[in-house]
Amino acid sequence: MSQSQPFEFRSPHGIRKIESHTRSWNGITARNIVHYPDPGKAWHDLSSHETIVAIVLGQVGGYCESRLNLNRPTPRSRFDAGHTTFAPADMTVWAYTDGLRSVRELRMSFGPKVPESILGDDLDSAKTDTPVLLLYDDKVARCAALLAEECREPSSSGRLYCEGLTTALTATLFARRNAQMQRANGLSRWQLRRAMEYLEAHMTQDISLEEMAKLVGLSQSQFARSFKSSTGMPPYKWYLDARIKRAQELLLVGKESIAFIALQTGFADQSHFTKTFRRATGATPKDWQLSRKL
Protein backbone atom coordinates (compact mmCIF):
# COMPACT_ATOMS: atom_id res chain seq x y z
CA MET A 1 0.00 0.00 0.00
CA SER A 2 1.04 3.60 -0.59
CA GLN A 3 1.78 5.44 2.64
CA SER A 4 1.36 9.17 3.14
CA GLN A 5 3.66 10.04 6.01
CA PRO A 6 5.77 12.88 7.40
CA PHE A 7 9.17 13.25 5.79
CA GLU A 8 11.99 15.58 6.77
CA PHE A 9 14.96 16.91 4.81
CA ARG A 10 18.45 17.17 6.25
CA SER A 11 19.58 20.71 7.12
CA PRO A 12 16.58 22.44 5.53
CA HIS A 13 16.43 26.18 4.93
CA GLY A 14 13.30 27.86 3.58
CA ILE A 15 11.22 24.69 3.14
CA ARG A 16 7.62 25.48 4.05
CA LYS A 17 5.87 22.15 3.50
CA ILE A 18 6.63 18.57 2.36
CA GLU A 19 4.21 15.91 1.09
CA SER A 20 5.41 12.33 0.65
CA HIS A 21 3.98 8.98 -0.45
CA THR A 22 6.20 5.94 0.07
CA ARG A 23 6.48 2.41 -1.27
CA SER A 24 9.25 -0.19 -1.38
CA TRP A 25 10.46 -2.66 -4.00
CA ASN A 26 13.73 -4.52 -4.60
CA GLY A 27 15.24 -3.24 -1.35
CA ILE A 28 14.62 0.32 -2.56
CA THR A 29 12.46 2.82 -0.69
CA ALA A 30 10.79 5.10 -3.22
CA ARG A 31 9.10 8.37 -2.31
CA ASN A 32 6.95 10.60 -4.44
CA ILE A 33 7.80 13.94 -2.81
CA VAL A 34 6.29 17.36 -3.38
CA HIS A 35 7.90 20.21 -1.45
CA TYR A 36 6.99 23.86 -1.27
CA PRO A 37 9.87 26.33 -0.68
CA ASP A 38 9.41 29.75 0.78
CA PRO A 39 9.75 32.64 -1.72
CA GLY A 40 13.33 33.23 -2.80
CA LYS A 41 16.23 30.89 -2.15
CA ALA A 42 15.86 27.57 -0.30
CA TRP A 43 17.99 24.48 0.15
CA HIS A 44 18.52 21.21 1.96
CA ASP A 45 21.04 18.39 2.08
CA LEU A 46 19.51 15.55 0.06
CA SER A 47 22.02 12.97 1.31
CA SER A 48 21.19 10.20 3.76
CA HIS A 49 22.89 7.35 5.60
CA GLU A 50 21.76 5.36 2.54
CA THR A 51 22.47 5.95 -1.14
CA ILE A 52 20.11 8.50 -2.71
CA VAL A 53 18.87 8.89 -6.28
CA ALA A 54 16.58 11.90 -6.81
CA ILE A 55 14.82 12.66 -10.10
CA VAL A 56 13.06 16.02 -10.45
CA LEU A 57 9.80 15.39 -12.31
CA GLY A 58 8.24 18.84 -12.15
CA GLN A 59 8.91 22.37 -10.95
CA VAL A 60 6.72 25.46 -10.77
CA GLY A 61 8.23 28.95 -10.77
CA GLY A 62 12.00 29.34 -10.83
CA TYR A 63 14.58 26.57 -10.98
CA CYS A 64 16.27 23.91 -8.87
CA GLU A 65 19.62 22.19 -9.03
CA SER A 66 22.01 19.98 -7.08
CA ARG A 67 25.32 21.37 -5.81
CA LEU A 68 28.39 19.94 -4.12
CA ASN A 69 29.12 23.41 -2.72
CA LEU A 70 26.09 25.33 -1.52
CA ASN A 71 27.59 28.65 -2.65
CA ARG A 72 28.78 27.46 -6.05
CA PRO A 73 26.24 26.86 -8.86
CA THR A 74 26.64 23.70 -10.93
CA PRO A 75 27.46 24.44 -14.58
CA ARG A 76 24.46 23.59 -16.75
CA SER A 77 22.85 24.40 -20.10
CA ARG A 78 19.30 23.30 -19.20
CA PHE A 79 17.09 24.57 -16.42
CA ASP A 80 13.99 22.42 -16.96
CA ALA A 81 12.82 19.47 -14.86
CA GLY A 82 13.75 15.86 -15.65
CA HIS A 83 17.26 15.77 -14.17
CA THR A 84 18.71 13.11 -11.89
CA THR A 85 21.08 13.47 -8.94
CA PHE A 86 22.95 10.59 -7.35
CA ALA A 87 24.43 11.00 -3.86
CA PRO A 88 26.47 8.17 -2.30
CA ALA A 89 25.65 7.45 1.35
CA ASP A 90 26.47 10.34 3.71
CA MET A 91 28.08 12.44 0.97
CA THR A 92 26.69 15.96 1.27
CA VAL A 93 24.92 17.08 -1.89
CA TRP A 94 22.79 20.21 -1.72
CA ALA A 95 19.39 20.55 -3.36
CA TYR A 96 19.07 24.27 -4.10
CA THR A 97 16.05 26.20 -5.37
CA ASP A 98 15.47 29.82 -6.32
CA GLY A 99 12.03 31.30 -6.92
CA LEU A 100 10.19 27.99 -6.96
CA ARG A 101 6.66 27.53 -5.70
CA SER A 102 6.84 23.73 -5.73
CA VAL A 103 9.05 20.80 -6.76
CA ARG A 104 7.92 17.23 -7.45
CA GLU A 105 10.46 14.43 -7.42
CA LEU A 106 10.98 10.72 -7.04
CA ARG A 107 13.55 10.07 -4.34
CA MET A 108 14.95 6.56 -3.96
CA SER A 109 17.09 5.37 -1.04
CA PHE A 110 18.83 2.02 -0.68
CA GLY A 111 21.70 0.21 1.01
CA PRO A 112 25.16 -0.30 -0.54
CA LYS A 113 24.53 -3.88 -1.69
CA VAL A 114 21.27 -3.24 -3.52
CA PRO A 115 22.71 -2.31 -6.96
CA GLU A 116 24.76 -5.51 -6.99
CA SER A 117 21.76 -7.61 -5.93
CA ILE A 118 19.81 -6.20 -8.91
CA LEU A 119 22.56 -6.03 -11.53
CA GLY A 120 24.96 -8.82 -10.59
CA ASP A 121 27.93 -8.91 -12.97
CA ASP A 122 26.47 -5.98 -14.93
CA LEU A 123 27.32 -3.58 -12.08
CA ASP A 124 30.02 -0.97 -12.60
CA SER A 125 31.08 -0.54 -8.96
CA ALA A 126 32.97 2.68 -9.74
CA LYS A 127 29.66 4.37 -10.56
CA THR A 128 28.31 3.75 -7.06
CA ASP A 129 31.07 5.83 -5.45
CA THR A 130 30.92 8.95 -7.63
CA PRO A 131 28.18 11.57 -7.21
CA VAL A 132 26.21 12.61 -10.29
CA LEU A 133 24.65 16.07 -10.66
CA LEU A 134 21.94 17.18 -13.09
CA LEU A 135 21.94 14.16 -15.39
CA TYR A 136 19.28 14.38 -18.09
CA ASP A 137 18.35 10.88 -19.26
CA ASP A 138 14.96 10.20 -20.85
CA LYS A 139 14.83 6.54 -19.79
CA VAL A 140 15.53 7.38 -16.15
CA ALA A 141 12.92 10.15 -16.21
CA ARG A 142 10.27 7.84 -17.75
CA CYS A 143 10.89 5.09 -15.21
CA ALA A 144 10.88 7.61 -12.36
CA ALA A 145 7.57 9.14 -13.46
CA LEU A 146 5.92 5.70 -13.55
CA LEU A 147 7.34 4.75 -10.15
CA ALA A 148 6.22 8.07 -8.66
CA GLU A 149 2.69 7.38 -9.89
CA GLU A 150 2.82 3.93 -8.26
CA CYS A 151 3.87 5.60 -4.99
CA ARG A 152 1.04 8.09 -5.19
CA GLU A 153 -1.71 5.78 -6.41
CA PRO A 154 -0.80 2.08 -6.68
CA SER A 155 -2.25 0.35 -9.74
CA SER A 156 -3.10 -3.30 -10.29
CA SER A 157 0.16 -3.91 -12.17
CA GLY A 158 1.83 -5.55 -9.18
CA ARG A 159 5.31 -6.10 -7.90
CA LEU A 160 6.70 -7.58 -11.12
CA TYR A 161 5.94 -4.32 -12.94
CA CYS A 162 7.45 -2.05 -10.27
CA GLU A 163 10.54 -4.21 -9.80
CA GLY A 164 11.01 -4.15 -13.57
CA LEU A 165 10.98 -0.35 -13.49
CA THR A 166 13.45 -0.14 -10.59
CA THR A 167 15.71 -2.64 -12.37
CA ALA A 168 15.65 -0.64 -15.61
CA LEU A 169 16.37 2.61 -13.77
CA THR A 170 19.17 1.06 -11.71
CA ALA A 171 20.74 -0.49 -14.82
CA THR A 172 20.71 2.84 -16.66
CA LEU A 173 22.57 4.53 -13.81
CA PHE A 174 24.95 1.85 -12.56
CA ALA A 175 25.46 -0.88 -15.16
CA ARG A 176 28.67 -1.28 -17.13
CA ARG A 177 28.45 0.49 -20.46
CA ASN A 178 28.91 -2.67 -22.52
CA ALA A 179 26.25 -4.44 -20.43
CA GLN A 180 23.78 -1.68 -21.28
CA MET A 181 24.59 -1.82 -24.98
CA GLN A 182 24.88 -5.57 -25.51
CA ARG A 183 21.96 -7.47 -27.00
CA ALA A 184 20.74 -10.33 -24.83
CA ASN A 185 20.87 -13.81 -26.36
CA GLY A 186 17.65 -14.82 -24.69
CA LEU A 187 16.96 -17.52 -22.13
CA SER A 188 17.99 -21.10 -22.76
CA ARG A 189 15.20 -23.63 -23.34
CA TRP A 190 15.25 -24.87 -19.76
CA GLN A 191 15.34 -21.35 -18.36
CA LEU A 192 12.40 -20.21 -20.48
CA ARG A 193 10.42 -23.36 -19.66
CA ARG A 194 11.03 -22.94 -15.94
CA ALA A 195 10.09 -19.25 -16.06
CA MET A 196 6.85 -19.98 -17.94
CA GLU A 197 5.92 -22.81 -15.60
CA TYR A 198 6.52 -20.56 -12.62
CA LEU A 199 4.40 -17.75 -14.04
CA GLU A 200 1.52 -20.07 -14.88
CA ALA A 201 1.68 -21.85 -11.49
CA HIS A 202 1.54 -18.56 -9.58
CA MET A 203 -1.19 -16.85 -11.59
CA THR A 204 -2.98 -15.56 -8.48
CA GLN A 205 0.13 -14.30 -6.67
CA ASP A 206 2.09 -11.05 -6.68
CA ILE A 207 5.21 -12.44 -8.36
CA SER A 208 8.67 -10.99 -7.69
CA LEU A 209 11.24 -10.36 -10.42
CA GLU A 210 13.94 -11.33 -7.92
CA GLU A 211 12.32 -14.74 -7.36
CA MET A 212 12.12 -15.42 -11.09
CA ALA A 213 15.71 -14.35 -11.71
CA LYS A 214 17.00 -16.64 -8.93
CA LEU A 215 14.98 -19.50 -10.38
CA VAL A 216 17.11 -19.49 -13.55
CA GLY A 217 20.40 -18.35 -12.00
CA LEU A 218 20.53 -14.79 -13.35
CA SER A 219 20.55 -11.28 -11.93
CA GLN A 220 17.32 -9.34 -12.25
CA SER A 221 18.65 -7.13 -15.02
CA GLN A 222 20.03 -10.11 -16.96
CA PHE A 223 16.78 -12.04 -16.57
CA ALA A 224 14.59 -9.11 -17.64
CA ARG A 225 16.76 -8.46 -20.68
CA SER A 226 16.93 -12.14 -21.70
CA PHE A 227 13.22 -12.75 -21.09
CA LYS A 228 12.29 -9.87 -23.37
CA SER A 229 14.70 -11.14 -26.01
CA SER A 230 13.03 -14.59 -25.86
CA THR A 231 9.39 -13.49 -25.75
CA GLY A 232 9.33 -10.00 -27.26
CA MET A 233 7.96 -8.42 -24.09
CA PRO A 234 9.08 -7.69 -20.52
CA PRO A 235 8.12 -10.22 -17.81
CA TYR A 236 5.32 -8.13 -16.29
CA LYS A 237 3.66 -7.66 -19.70
CA TRP A 238 3.80 -11.37 -20.53
CA TYR A 239 2.40 -12.18 -17.09
CA LEU A 240 -0.42 -9.63 -17.42
CA ASP A 241 -1.35 -10.92 -20.88
CA ALA A 242 -1.43 -14.49 -19.55
CA ARG A 243 -3.79 -13.45 -16.74
CA ILE A 244 -6.08 -11.66 -19.18
CA LYS A 245 -6.16 -14.74 -21.45
CA ARG A 246 -6.99 -16.95 -18.48
CA ALA A 247 -9.77 -14.55 -17.49
CA GLN A 248 -11.17 -14.70 -21.04
CA GLU A 249 -11.25 -18.51 -20.86
CA LEU A 250 -13.22 -18.34 -17.60
CA LEU A 251 -15.57 -15.72 -19.03
CA LEU A 252 -16.32 -17.95 -22.02
CA VAL A 253 -17.24 -20.84 -19.73
CA GLY A 254 -19.66 -18.45 -18.06
CA LYS A 255 -20.08 -20.31 -14.78
CA GLU A 256 -18.36 -17.90 -12.41
CA SER A 257 -18.99 -14.31 -11.35
CA ILE A 258 -16.76 -11.44 -12.49
CA ALA A 259 -15.59 -10.98 -8.88
CA PHE A 260 -14.58 -14.65 -8.62
CA ILE A 261 -12.72 -14.54 -11.94
CA ALA A 262 -10.86 -11.43 -10.75
CA LEU A 263 -9.56 -13.31 -7.70
CA GLN A 264 -8.76 -16.42 -9.75
CA THR A 265 -6.52 -14.40 -12.06
CA GLY A 266 -4.65 -12.51 -9.35
CA PHE A 267 -6.42 -9.15 -9.23
CA ALA A 268 -7.06 -7.41 -5.92
CA ASP A 269 -10.76 -6.93 -6.60
CA GLN A 270 -13.35 -6.63 -9.35
CA SER A 271 -12.67 -2.92 -9.88
CA HIS A 272 -8.95 -3.45 -10.58
CA PHE A 273 -9.76 -6.39 -12.82
CA THR A 274 -12.32 -4.43 -14.83
CA LYS A 275 -9.98 -1.46 -15.36
CA THR A 276 -7.07 -3.66 -16.45
CA PHE A 277 -9.22 -5.89 -18.67
CA ARG A 278 -10.75 -2.88 -20.42
CA ARG A 279 -7.32 -1.34 -20.95
CA ALA A 280 -6.11 -4.59 -22.53
CA THR A 281 -9.15 -5.50 -24.64
CA GLY A 282 -11.13 -2.28 -25.11
CA ALA A 283 -14.18 -3.71 -23.33
CA THR A 284 -15.27 -4.48 -19.77
CA PRO A 285 -15.29 -8.17 -18.80
CA LYS A 286 -19.09 -8.26 -18.87
CA ASP A 287 -19.35 -6.57 -22.29
CA TRP A 288 -16.61 -8.84 -23.68
CA GLN A 289 -18.45 -11.89 -22.34
CA LEU A 290 -21.79 -10.79 -23.79
CA SER A 291 -20.28 -10.05 -27.19
CA ARG A 292 -18.98 -13.64 -27.41
CA LYS A 293 -22.47 -15.05 -26.77
CA LEU A 294 -24.13 -13.20 -29.65
Q: Could you report the per-residue pLDDT of 64-114, keeping only the tens digit for each? A: 999 999 999 999 999 999 999 999 999 999 999 999 999 999 999 999 999
Flag whether pLDDT at 50 surpasses 90. yes
0.85 exceeded by the pTM? yes
Domain boundaries, the chain: 3-171, 183-232, 244-291
For residue 156, name the pLDDT band (cuts at 50, 70, 90): low
Q: Which CATH number fits domain 183-232: 3.30.1460, 1.10.10, 1.25.10, 3.30.300?
A: 1.10.10
> Hey, do 3-171 and 183-232 end up sharing a CATH topology, with the first three levels equal?
no
% of the chain surpassing 90 pLDDT: 77
Higher pLDDT, 28 or 293: 28
Largest CA distance in the chain: 72
- The number of beta carbons lying within 10 Å of the beta carbon of residue 25 is 22
For residue 157, name the pLDDT band (cuts at 50, 70, 90): confident
Q: Write the CB contacts of 62 (distance below 8 Å, at least 6 apart in sequence).
A: 97, 98, 99, 100
Flag whether pLDDT at 286 surpasses 70. yes
% of the chain surpassing 70 pLDDT: 95
Q: What class has domain 244-291?
A: mainly alpha
pLDDT for the residue 203 = 83
For residue 153, name the pLDDT band (cuts at 50, 70, 90): confident
Q: Could you report the per-residue pLDDT of 192-219, keeping only the tens digit for each? A: 999 999 998 888 888 899 999 999 999 9
Flag whether pLDDT at 185 surpasses 60. yes
Among 100, 93, 106, which residue's Cα sits nearest to residue 37? 100
Flag whether pLDDT at 46 surpasses 80. yes
What are 32's strand-pairing partners?
21, 106
What are 58's strand-pairing partners?
104
Q: Could you report the per-residue pLDDT of 213-262, keeping only the tens digit for each? A: 999 999 999 999 999 999 999 999 999 999 999 999 999 988 889 999 99
Q: What class has domain 3-171?
A: mainly beta
pLDDT for the residue 178 = 72
What value does the mean pLDDT of the chain take? 91
Distance in angstroms (rounded) separating the CA atoms of residues 237 and 221: 16
If you average pLDDT over residues 10-20, what whole number do you get? Answer: 95
18-22, 162-166, 241-245, 289-293: which range is least confident on average? 289-293
pLDDT for the residue 1 = 44
